[in-house]
Amino acid sequence: MTASVRRAVRLEHRLTHPNASLVNLDAAVALAVDHDLAALTVNPWLVKAAKRLLGRSRLVLGTVVGYPYGVQILSVKAFEASKALEQGATQIDFVLNGGALTSGDDEAVFNDMLAVIDMAHSALASVGVIIESEPMNDELVRRACRLAERAGADHLVTSAGSATADRTVARTRLLRDSVGPRIGVKSCGRFRNAEQLMAAADAGATRISAPLTVGLARAGMESAQLAGLAR
């Protein structure tokens, strides 16, 4: 596969499980760099170490804010984002305030989003809103997507990462249909094979994020059909 096709395959390796260690980080950085992935997303406490290991690599270094439920108050999320950016993160994904959304307080949801989005953009980092959509109905999810788009998010994220591949693909399609072409959709879930990755791409994902194995990363990189992720 040519270098141009490899760059078009926008796979992201995730290291966000609760007990992720420095040993796990060493392996994650090696996997992401060796397979020329688009990004590596790690728990906040690992950002500084990941930045050091990556050195001069241009790999996007992401982390998560308000994880996993998004119930922190606005100032806490903004502070968490500022510290991650200070330590070297170049991508922030944060969980929306689902309680405020289901309460009908769109202003609180919007302001919560805006605080983190403005913080990230001031540091020239990209930022995504994790639409943790269960038990939200589709209309609530669509409303959250519209608020995120209005707040200036760069991408939407299907979930915090625990959803099955089938559920993630369905969410990807819903998020893609809820916003305009400017905003990307990150398909984040438990993918097990290249066929599932391709299904997410077909559903409209601009990036696919998962705890990748060497085999899955290789399968994704070798699948020419995944080049559609660049669109």
Task: Name the band, by pLDDT with cuts 50, 70 and 90, for residue 42.
Answer: very high
Give me the pLDDT at residue 223, please: 66
Provide the pLDDT for residue 5: 33
Provide mean pLDDT across the span 36-43. Answer: 96
Per-residue pLDDT tens digits for 175-193: 999 999 999 999 999 999 9
Instruction: Dump pLDDT digits (tens) for 133-156.
Output: 777 899 999 999 999 999 999 999
Short-list 42, 61, 36, 43, CA closest to 51: 61
What is the pTM (predicted TM-score) of this model?
Answer: 0.91
DSSP class of residue 14? E
Tell me the one-letter amino acid at 222.
E
HEC readout, 65-97: ECCCCCCCCHHHHHHHHHHHHHCCCCEEEEECC
Rounded Cα distance between 90 and 163, Å, is 25
pLDDT on residue 154: 98
Contact 50, 29 (CB under 8 A): yes
Burial of 37 (0-12, 13-18, 19+ CB in 10 A): buried
Torsion of CA 192, 197, 199, 201, to 10 degrees: 160
Position 121 pLDDT exceeds 60: yes
Write down the pLDDT at residue 46: 98
Classify each residue of 97-108 as buried b or exposed e, where b means 16 or more C-beta atoms within 10 Å of its C-beta. bbebbeeeeeeb
Contact 85, 60 (CB under 8 A): no
Sign of the C-alpha dihedral computed for residues 125, 129, 230 and 1 taken in this order: positive
Q: Where are the domains of the chain?
A: 3-230
Query: CATH says 3-230 is which class?
Result: alpha beta
